[in-house]
Amino acid sequence: MDNRVIIDADVLWEESFEKILELLENKRYFQARDELLKFNAVDIAYMLEDITEETDIDMTIILFRLLPKDVSAEVFSELSTDNQVEIVNVITDKEIDFILQELDFDDKIDILEELPANMVDRILEKTPKNERKLINTFLNYPDNSAGSLMTPDYISLRKEWNVAQALEHIKEVGMDAETIYTCYVRDNGRKLLGIVSLSTLVISSDDTKIMNIMRTDYVYENVFDDQEDVSEDFKKYGFLALPVVDNEHRLVGIITVDDILDVMEEEATEDIERMNGVIDFENSDKGYLDKSVMQHALNRLPWLVILMVAYVFTGMLITGFEGRLSEIICLVAYMPMLMGTGGNTGSQAATLIIRGLATDEVDTSDVFKILWKEVRIGALLGAVLSIINFGRIIWLDGNDYSVALTVCLAMLFIVIFAKVLGSMVPLLVKKLNLDPALIANPAISSVSDIVALSIYFVMAMVILGL
Amino acid sequence: MDNRVIIDADVLWEESFEKILELLENKRYFQARDELLKFNAVDIAYMLEDITEETDIDMTIILFRLLPKDVSAEVFSELSTDNQVEIVNVITDKEIDFILQELDFDDKIDILEELPANMVDRILEKTPKNERKLINTFLNYPDNSAGSLMTPDYISLRKEWNVAQALEHIKEVGMDAETIYTCYVRDNGRKLLGIVSLSTLVISSDDTKIMNIMRTDYVYENVFDDQEDVSEDFKKYGFLALPVVDNEHRLVGIITVDDILDVMEEEATEDIERMNGVIDFENSDKGYLDKSVMQHALNRLPWLVILMVAYVFTGMLITGFEGRLSEIICLVAYMPMLMGTGGNTGSQAATLIIRGLATDEVDTSDVFKILWKEVRIGALLGAVLSIINFGRIIWLDGNDYSVALTVCLAMLFIVIFAKVLGSMVPLLVKKLNLDPALIANPAISSVSDIVALSIYFVMAMVILGL
């Protein structure tokens, strides 16, 4: 029991890592390998990534080739694409063969999707014909569809079997199935009839017929369903795996919950980026550091250019008001505050509504409830901010009461307007069946900029008689 | 097989829902109940929520009491807190008893955490003494800790048992365990020795000793670990359940992956809100609509007030420059554009880095790589935006070359500066062990506002000789 590695303990990890680096420097590769093998496959992959960063890819390749064959396949599937490519480039065909044999089907698909085309060809050459056909089908499902997430490795039972036969069957094929915790009952035409969990099998008596314990009120996905909807179902029902069927209700694969964790992270990242004006045109899994400067610039340019156009209007507003502004030039000093507060307060509302829509907490049918809520929130916040500002303008800046009144009334109306704008626009966009996150916070702040200036200037005309 | 409900099909759901509403209107409660029972417990709970919204809580209570006892407990655990309270208020003690018996332990804890204190007392009164003690312990783990997520219902094996004994044991106790897919091997002092998955048990021969098939390289959590770290581990390793131990490495409970899906959603929501200047002080699970106007206003006020202070500085800058500004008043028209672009471009960089830190894609040690990348991205974007603007200022606005040069050079420097600021501040905050999302986009835009104005005015002085 003493060789149990406390994986949680970052200290232990760091110690081992330093030790491995030192061993590698002294070319004591086998000892480094043994130290590495104290960890599980996921951790070994993480370590190899760090080793590549600290030293170079050669060290990683040496260590990788020293790993026992059964470990190396799992480690391979956890490595970054860059490192996978490097490794596929140098290892022998026999080694590739072995890794491919050992990989789960959906890991294989993931890797093939990321590798360059010539690598994919090299790998497909070594794949038996019928598996190659299956791989090609899977590679053709659209990105982000249920089909692209699923694995064909599942346990399939027949409804006329009894529990003992089912358990026997699981023992025979079980090793290759990604998850055996839910088994699927199909008819002769591969149509899905029901599901049985392994726990039900284990606690049922041996002679119970499958048809009597299978559940028919199961939830399932279609191969073309969007991964976001799939992850909603996992969250809603709390299942470990969901079956995927084609348009004829034939079972074609299953999706397991561990892949959904990644989907949820991806979807949240996409929403967060979109909300703040970054659109990932490549739609890649690449991290920040892996994207080129050009790609980063392209992802960020569209919103900045759209905003540029919006600012032509604020510019025109100011130019139109220029003559009057130069009469009471101190009004200029409060412009950034009014526009900035409008923008931020609008973004706050938009953020809450966009997120609420994403998590199904609010719905477009709640529009009037939300409107009434935001009007009151806006009035409350606007009043508080106006009072603070009134004091500041008179005592700190030493300006007139009339200037203070102009700024503060404008502030009140701007905040209320921005809250309404920020909350209503996402609902409208959703109603049009578009992604609310795409009408990003920058858009809402620039519209509220224009309106804020208009309100301010109208107030100035009314109160200051400009 | 014909009564299988296609849960995915929203059409079918809507049809059933309309039918139930109609049946309720005609007081045909039993028929409404039967229609409801075509769905699974999660869906029934969703339907009851919608029924409460469309009609009133009385209808929901009537339907709830008509549900078969075994269904009602599961439905209860899926209802919103508001509806749970209403139901606990009217049902008999005997009914409460039954629901409590049927609930999984961690659902029970979740419900007790949300219910008002007098309800909790009423419920705890009906709980056997030793379970009451356990409940109280669980209720005392800090919010968002591993302890608050776990359940004590797990399968515990002994290392000297063989597989047949283990499976026999699972059959006996299995029904009550939240998940039986991973079993835990403990010594006499309740210390965790290893784990065995049910799939390993099922595919091993009956006389294999547990100690020979248990895995000792398991990953585990401490009761006081933060839920965010727990969900990181689930994502990293792809497990279905993780054991939770106390400081003496005694097994106290397990966390299952279905609860982690909710944690991930919560954590993403928290990050998104914080990044956009909303801080949830109540730290509640309440949705947008359930929070009061006052609570919403309080959550949003702090950042708006902090920004107010920042705007005092932009105001001072402008006031100090007022005399010169009134000489070339057209410069005022470009202020919103320069400040707005600075803010948005800074937010883009900040968003990517904050999210990258949250998903472990970037690390504080990447600071120089990030800096160099953002400088180049900023230069590229700044150049493109400057060129567009140069044309606009000269041809559209009809201003001087010197004004265009002032605005465009300022634009270039502002974009580069904002990219650097937006990317470096989150790294600094992370280095200080604070949540980078807390130094929200509003803060970055207001600092970049001040710097943008300063750059603009300096350019004006140098180029226009103001």
Report how far residue A220's alpha carbon sits from residue A241's, in angstroms, rounded to the nearest whole number: 9
Among B326, B335, B454, B317, CA closest to A325: B326
Report how far residue A220's alpha carbon sits from residue B421's, in angstroms, rounded to the nearest whole number: 47
Contacts of A171 in chain B (CB under 8 A): 202-203
Instruction: Tell me what percent of the residues of chain B surpass a pLDDT of 70.
Output: 96
Best residue of B10, B50, B293 to probe chain A, by most A CBs closer than 10 Å: B293
From A139's Cα to the closest Cα of chain B, the distance in A is: 23
pLDDT value for A86: 81
CB-based contact (8 Å) between A8 and chain B? yes
Q: Which residue of B has its CA nearest to A369?
A: B289
Residues in A 137-176 with any Cβ partner in B closer than 8 A: 167, 170-171, 174-175
Among B347, B314, B345, CA closest to A336: B314
CB-based contact (8 Å) between B213 and chain A? no
Q: Locate A397 and state its tokens.
A: 């800046």
Report how far residue A54's alpha carbon sits from residue A56's, in angstroms, rounded to the nearest whole number: 7
Report how far residue A58's alpha carbon sits from residue A317's, in angstroms, rounded to the nearest whole number: 62
Report how far residue B301's alpha carbon sits from residue B304's, in angstroms, rounded to the nearest whole number: 5
Cβ distance of B203 and A170 shorter than 8 Å: yes
- CATH 1.25.60.10 positions along chain A are 3-139
From A220's Cα to the closest Cα of chain B, the distance in A is: 7
Of A401-405, B170-174, B175-179, B232-236, which range is least confident?
B175-179
Pairing of strands B241-245, B251-256: antiparallel
CB-based contact (8 Å) between A368 and chain B? no
Cβ distance of A261 and B271 shorter than 8 Å: no
Q: Which residue of B has its CA nearest to A381?
A: B297
- CATH 3.10.580.10 positions along chain A are 154-257
pLDDT value for A5: 43
Of A152-156, B116-120, B293-297, B301-305, which range is least confident?
B116-120
User: If you search the block for the tokens 């060789």, which residue do you land on?
Assistant: A3
CATH 1.10.357.20 corresponds to the domain A293-464:
yes
Comparing A117 with B26, the larger pLDDT belongs to B26
**pLDDT at residue A125 is higher than 70:** yes
Would you say A294 and B368 are in contact if contact means Cβ atoms under 8 Å apart?
no
Interaxial angle between packed helices A129-139 and A105-114, expressed in degrees from 0 to 180 and rounded to the nearest 10:
60
Cβ distance of B380 and A297 shorter than 8 Å: yes
Contacts of B404 in chain A (CB under 8 A): none
Q: Locate A433 and state its tokens.
A: 């069946």
Would you say B174 and B180 are in contact if contact means Cβ atoms under 8 Å apart?
yes
Burial group, residue B14, by CB count within 10 angstroms (0-12, 13-18, 19+):
exposed
Confidence of residue B9 (pLDDT cuts 50, 70, 90): low
Mean pLDDT of A210-237: 89
Confidence of residue A7 (pLDDT cuts 50, 70, 90): very low
pLDDT value for A4: 41
Report how far residue A103's alpha carbon sits from residue A73's, in angstroms, rounded to the nearest whole number: 6
Mean pLDDT of B25-35: 88
Residue B408: how many CA atoms within 13 Å on its side-chain side?
A: 19
Interaxial angle between packed helices A129-139 and A117-125, expressed in degrees from 0 to 180 and rounded to the nearest 10:
150
Of A132-141, A250-259, B162-171, B416-425, which range is least confident?
A132-141
Would you say A208 and A215 are in contact if contact means Cβ atoms under 8 Å apart?
no
CB-based contact (8 Å) between B234 and chain A? yes
Confidence of residue B350 (pLDDT cuts 50, 70, 90): very high
From A205's Cα to the closest Cα of chain B, the distance in A is: 9
Cβ distance of A221 and B8 shorter than 8 Å: yes
CB-based contact (8 Å) between B261 and chain A? yes
Would you say B181 and A198 are in contact if contact means Cβ atoms under 8 Å apart?
yes
Mean pLDDT of B304-311: 86
Residues in B 182-201 with any Cβ partner in A closer than 8 A: 193-194, 198-199
Cβ distance of A273 and B330 shorter than 8 Å: no
Report how far residue B432's alpha carbon sits from residue B429's, in angstroms, rounded to the nearest whole number: 5
**pLDDT at residue A1 is higher than 60:** no
Residues in A 297-326 with any Cβ partner in B closer than 8 A: 297, 300-301, 303-305, 307-308, 311-312, 314-316, 318-319, 322, 325-326
From A296's Cα to the closest Cα of chain B, the distance in A is: 7
Residue A394 to residues A346, A403, A462, B308, B323, Cα–Cα distance (Å): 27, 9, 20, 15, 21
**pLDDT winner (highest mean) among A67-81, A82-96, B427-441:** B427-441
Cβ distance of A39 and B369 shorter than 8 Å: no
Instruction: Look at residue B4 and give its three-state secondary structure.
Output: coil
Would you say A344 and A445 are in contact if contact means Cβ atoms under 8 Å apart?
yes
- CATH 1.10.357.20 positions along chain A are 293-464
Best residue of B11, B49, B261, B373 to probe chain A, by most A CBs closer than 10 Å: B261
Mean pLDDT of A48-69: 84
CB-based contact (8 Å) between A432 and chain B? no
Mean pLDDT of B433-443: 83
Residues 6+ apart with CB under 8 A from B325: A329, A332, B318, B331, B332
Q: How far is CA A32 from the centre of its chain?
A: 36
**pLDDT at residue B1 is higher than 70:** no
DSSP state of B67: S
Name the CATH topology of A3-139: MgtE N-terminal fold (1.25.60)
Cβ distance of A337 and B315 shorter than 8 Å: yes
* One-letter-per-residue 3-state SS of chain A: CCCCCCCCCHHHHHHHHHHHHHHHHCCCHHHHHHHHCCCCHHHHHHHHHHHHHHCCHHHHHHHHHHCCHHHHHHHHHHCCHHHHHHHHHHCCHHHHHHHHHHCCHHHHHHHHHHCCHHHHHHHHHCCCHHHHHHHHHHHCCCCCEHHHHCECCCEEECCCCEHHHHHHHHHHHHHHCCCCCEEEEECCCCEEEEEEEHHHHHHCCCCCEHHHHCECCCCCEECCCEHHHHHHHHHHHCCCEEEEECCCCEEEEEEEHHHHHHHHHHHHHHHHHHHCCCCCCCCCCCCHHHCCHHHHHHHHHHHHHHHHHHHHHHHHHHHHHHHHHHHCHHHHHHHHHHHHHHHHHHHHHHHHHHHHHHCCCCCHHHHHHHHHHHHHHHHHHHHHHHHHHHHHHHHHCCCCHHHHHHHHHHHHHHHHHHHHHHHHHHHHHHHCCCCHHHCCHHHHHHHHHHHHHHHHHHHHHHHHCC
Residues in A 331-350 with any Cβ partner in B closer than 8 A: 332-337, 339-341, 343-345, 347-348, 350
**pLDDT at residue A256 is higher than 70:** yes
Mean pLDDT of B304-321: 86
Residues in B 397-416 with any Cβ partner in A closer than 8 A: 397
Rg (alpha carbons) of chain B, rounded to whole number: 30
Beta-sheet strand order (sheet of A182-186): A155-157, A182-186, A192-197
Instruction: Tell me what percent of the residues of chain A surpass a pLDDT of 90.
Output: 24
Q: Locate A277 and state its tokens.
A: 């004006």
pLDDT value for A404: 94
Report how far residue A419's alpha carbon sits from residue B297's, in angstroms, rounded to the nearest whole number: 11
Question: Considering chain B, what is the average pLDDT of its residues?
Answer: 85
Sequence letter at residue A101? Q
Would you say A196 and A215 are in contact if contact means Cβ atoms under 8 Å apart?
yes
**pLDDT at residue A336 is higher than 50:** yes
From A144's Cα to the closest Cα of chain B, the distance in A is: 18
Contacts of B202 in chain A (CB under 8 A): 167, 170-171, 174, 180, 198, 202
Q: How many Cβ atoms are within 10 Å of A370's Cβ, its own excluded?
A: 24
Report how far residue A247's alpha carbon sits from residue B157's, in angstroms, rounded to the nearest whole number: 44
User: Bridge partners of B368?
Assistant: none
Mean pLDDT of A227-249: 88
Would you say A119 and A85 are in contact if contact means Cβ atoms under 8 Å apart?
yes
Phi and psi at A432, nearest 5°, equal -85, 10
Question: Considering chain A, what is the average pLDDT of its residues?
Answer: 85
Would you say A166 and A208 are in contact if contact means Cβ atoms under 8 Å apart?
no
Give the pLDDT confidence of A282-312 residue by residue, as tens digits: 766 678 888 889 999 999 998 888 888 888 8
CB-based contact (8 Å) between A262 and chain B? yes
Q: How many CB pairs under 8 A join A and B?
A: 371
Cβ distance of B341 and A304 shorter than 8 Å: yes
Among B262, B277, B234, B327, CA closest to B439: B277
Interaxial angle between packed helices A41-54 and A57-66, expressed in degrees from 0 to 180 and rounded to the nearest 10:
150
**pLDDT at residue A90 is higher than 90:** no
Q: How far is CA A31 from the centre of its chain?
A: 39
From B202's Cα to the closest Cα of chain A, the distance in A is: 7
Best residue of B309, B348, B381, B419 to probe chain A, by most A CBs closer than 10 Å: B348
Best residue of A344, A387, A390, A392 to probe chain B, by most B CBs closer than 10 Å: A344
DSSP state of B142: P
Confidence of residue B2 (pLDDT cuts 50, 70, 90): very low
DSSP state of B253: E
B154-257 to CATH, choices 3.30.420.40, 1.10.10.10, 3.30.365.10, 3.10.580.10: 3.10.580.10
Confidence of residue A315 (pLDDT cuts 50, 70, 90): confident
Report how far residue A415's alpha carbon sits from residue A378's, in angstroms, rounded to the nearest whole number: 6
pLDDT value for A176: 57
Give the pLDDT confidence of A339-392 residue by residue, as tens digits: 989 989 999 999 999 999 988 889 898 999 999 999 999 999 999 999 999 999
Looking at the partner chain, which of A316, A352, A388 has a beta carbon nearest the beta carbon of B288?
A352
Q: What ipTM was assigned to the predicted interfaces of this complex?
A: 0.79
**pLDDT at residue A3 is higher than 50:** no
Residues 6+ apart with CB under 8 A from B79: B45, B48, B49, B87
Give the pLDDT confidence of B353-377 residue by residue, as tens digits: 999 998 888 989 899 999 999 999 9
Pairing of strands B182-186, B155-157: parallel
**pLDDT winner (highest mean) among A444-458, B7-21, B62-76:** A444-458
Instruction: Look at residue B151 and give its three-state secondary structure.
Output: strand
Would you say A183 and A196 are in contact if contact means Cβ atoms under 8 Å apart?
yes
From B125's Cα to the closest Cα of chain A, the distance in A is: 30
Length of chain A, please? 466
